[in-house]
Amino acid sequence: MTLVLGFIEFLNKEKTFKPKKKFSPGTLRYSLHKQAEASLTSGIKLSEAVKLPFNENLDDWIAVHVVDFFNRTNLIYGVVTSYCVPESCPTMSGGTKYEYFWADGKHYRKPTALPAPKYISLLMDWVEDQINDDTVFPTTTDIPFPKNFQNRCKKILARLFRVFVHVYIHHYDKLVETGAEPHVNACYKHFYYFVREFDLVREQEFEPLEELTKRICKD
């Protein structure tokens, strides 16, 4: 599991695309976050490490991971952001077969084709707004999670997955060139095992990265 540690060191040197979201020390979520981090570096299989710890609440466990995946996806995109411009990536695609359209119910009421950097920027802002909203991601245990919390997280994770799709398919050379590839693979693998464990992203969403998933997610 040295890759995970290497990943953190690697990313700490990099500029983030959006500011990192932190957990406040002393809170339940901070200790769960630390617990999840510790199990990743303990050498146990990822398929085991993602399981809900005994006596913990599933919503808390999911919240911690959604924030963590947001931070890490944000850092990963930070690696390629200067190469991902409207000229190189006029659509939010994953190869020629897949294209994603943006809709947020506010400014984009209908699914809209956008250049990848615009799409990803809107996507990250949309996730960040929810993570920073105490009624969605409560910061204390006095505030309950909303009833639709898991559904909201499913949507967030499905959208974060699209960043992996775009980065892997369109910016793979930059991942290799910058030495980020093994770190991104480690993060993708963690993401994959986590969402599969709790069935948070539909199987068909993984189609664009089917080959890669088969190659790297075989614990």
Comparing CB distances to Zn ion, the nearer of 113 and 143 is 113
Residue 68 identity (one-letter amino acid): D
CB of 207 to Zn ion, least distance (A): 19
Q: Which is nearer to Zn ion, 64 or 187 (CB)?
A: 187
What residue ranges bind Zn ion (CB under 5 A)?
84, 89, 116, 170
Smaller CB separation from Zn ion, 84 or 217: 84
> Two tokens at 193?
């095992």
For Zn ion, which is the closer residue by CB, 32 or 80? Answer: 80
Q: How far apart are CA 177 and CA 181, in angstroms?
A: 8
Min CB(180)–Zn ion separation in Å: 15
To Zn ion, the closest distance from the beta carbon of 95 in angstroms equals 12
Q: How far is the CB of 138 from Zn ion (least distance, A)?
A: 34
